[in-house]
């Protein structure tokens, strides 16, 4: 009975959230409607997590993590482009702020929380250093090419690429992401499978029978509906977020942080649930895969969108942001190399996330 009830609400809520999106799209929402939209947004997030877990169980790891990461990122790109079209000059740095926030949230928040939950459960969180290390190295490389280099190039004034440089960064990011997906899903798939504390690879979920093909296809469709609703409703409440940011006297970069937090909610919940089931590798696949997709797909999409988008595209990070990114890379490397972590490593990454959030609000 409980399973049937869960299936019903996870089917109805995304449809209702999508209906709410259609009814509120392009309208100025009064505070009561903002609260109602936020409730639909939360319900769509929880439904997306459920359907993502069904799909992941059907296709197995690491494909399940890849499905959720790519789906969320594609819709994140659509949200960024939509806001940049309608936002004017103040959105010139929105892509940079959102992508950097996504990297910090995934590489410190999701990764740290997953390690902390796993270590609290098993005393030591165990994962595959070959797969995790390769993923982390790819994230660091794409982040440096796309977010650090624009601060130091001289072809254009300010922290921005010339068209040729932006094209190179887009092609390099997309190529590295495609290479990673090939390695993750074909040549070295075993590097990304969950392992037990004894080092035994877990190729399949052993506590539930896999869903039928029909149920998996239904969940995939409902996952798309839920994610569209999540990002669309997030755009609907974004004016309220921007007004709150302006009223509080906070920097515009906080808007990008808020967007990233909203969009990454489904992956955060899914990663924590996987860690609680002692599937740390699945959690790290979600965290690093999301970071990589966020850069590797967003930068090429924004590069294409700049053909018709007015104004410059500010991509280069500031000094404080580069320090936080460098510290994340160093700490993350030390975390993933051993293939084992305890609560200390999880706490360090969460401290870095807290520092990022604090300095975003108080630079």
Query: Other CB atoms closer than 10 Å to residue 23's CB: what's the count?
Result: 11
Burial class of residue 120 (count of CB atoms within 10 Å of its CB; 0-12, 13-18, 19+) = middle
pTM of this prediction exceeds 0.85 = no
Considering the domain 2-361, what is its CATH architecture? Answer: Up-down Bundle (1.20)
What pLDDT score does 190 carry? 78
Which residue, 45, 43, 62, is CA-closest to 293? 62
Three-state DSSP class for 341? strand
What pLDDT score does 46 carry? 76
Q: Where are the domains of the chain?
A: 2-361
Concatenate the DSSP letters of all residues of 123-134 into one string: SSEE--HHHHHH
Burial 278-298 (b: 16+ CB within 10 A, else e): bbbbbbbbbbbbbbbbbbbbb
CA-to-CA separations, 25 to 230, 237, 273, in angstroms, rounded: 13, 10, 32
pLDDT tens series, the chain, 363 aa: 344 444 577 888 888 888 888 888 777 777 778 788 878 877 887 787 777 777 767 766 566 667 766 776 776 777 677 667 666 666 778 888 888 998 999 999 999 999 999 888 788 888 888 889 999 999 999 999 999 999 998 888 878 888 899 899 999 998 998 898 888 887 777 788 777 655 566 655 444 566 777 777 888 888 888 878 877 787 777 777 777 777 777 787 787 787 788 778 777 888 888 888 888 888 898 888 888 888 888 888 888 877 777 777 888 898 999 999 999 999 999 999 988 889 999 999 999 999 999 998 888
What pLDDT score does 188 carry? 77
Burial class of residue 261 (count of CB atoms within 10 Å of its CB; 0-12, 13-18, 19+) = middle
């Amino acid at each position: 009975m409980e399973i049937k009830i869960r299936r019903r609400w996870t089917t109805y809520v995304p449809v209702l959230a999508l209906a709410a999106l259609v009814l509120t799209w392009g309208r100025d929402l009064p505070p009561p409607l903002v609260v109602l939209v936020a409730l639909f947004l939360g319900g769509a997030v929880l439904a997306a997590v459920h359907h993502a877990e069904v799909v992941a169980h059907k296709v197995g790891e690491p494909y399940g993590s890849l499905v959720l990461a790519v789906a969320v990122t594609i819709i994140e790109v659509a949200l960024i482009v939509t806001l940049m079209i309608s936002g004017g000059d103040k959105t010139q740095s929105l892509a940079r702020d959102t992508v950097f926030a996504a990297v910090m949230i995934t590489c410190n928040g999701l990764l740290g929380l997953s390690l902390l939950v796993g270590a609290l459960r098993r005393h030591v969180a165990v994962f595959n250093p070959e797969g995790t290390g390769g993923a982390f190295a790819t994230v660091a490389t794409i982040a440096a090419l796309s977010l650090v280099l624009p601060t130091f190039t001289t072809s254009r004034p300010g922290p921005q690429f010339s068209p040729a440089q932006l094209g190179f960064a887009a092609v390099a990011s997309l190529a590295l992401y495609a290479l990673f997906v090939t390695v993750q899903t074909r040549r070295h798939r075993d590097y990304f499978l969950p392992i037990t504390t004894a080092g035994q690879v877990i190729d399949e979920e052993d506590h539930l029978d896999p869903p039928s093909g029909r149920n998996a296809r239904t969940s995939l469709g409902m996952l798309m509906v839920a994610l569209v609703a999540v990002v669309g409703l997030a755009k609907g409440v974004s004016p309220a977020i921007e007004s709150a940011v302006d009223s509080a006297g906070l920097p515009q970069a906080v808007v990008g942080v808020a967007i990233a937090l909203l969009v990454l909610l489904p992956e955060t919940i899914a990663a924590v649930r996987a860690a609680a089931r002692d599937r740390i590798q699945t959690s790290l696949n979600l965290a690093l895969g999301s970071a990589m997709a966020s850069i590797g797909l967003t930068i090429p999409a924004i590069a294409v969108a700049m053909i018709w988008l007015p104004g410059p595209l500010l991509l280069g990070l500031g000094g404080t942001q580069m320090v936080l990114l460098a510290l994340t890379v160093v700490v993350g490397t030390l975390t993933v190399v051993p293939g084992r972590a305890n609560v200390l490593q999880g706490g360090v990454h969460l401290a870095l996330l807290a520092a990022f959030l604090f300095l975003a609000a108080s630079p």
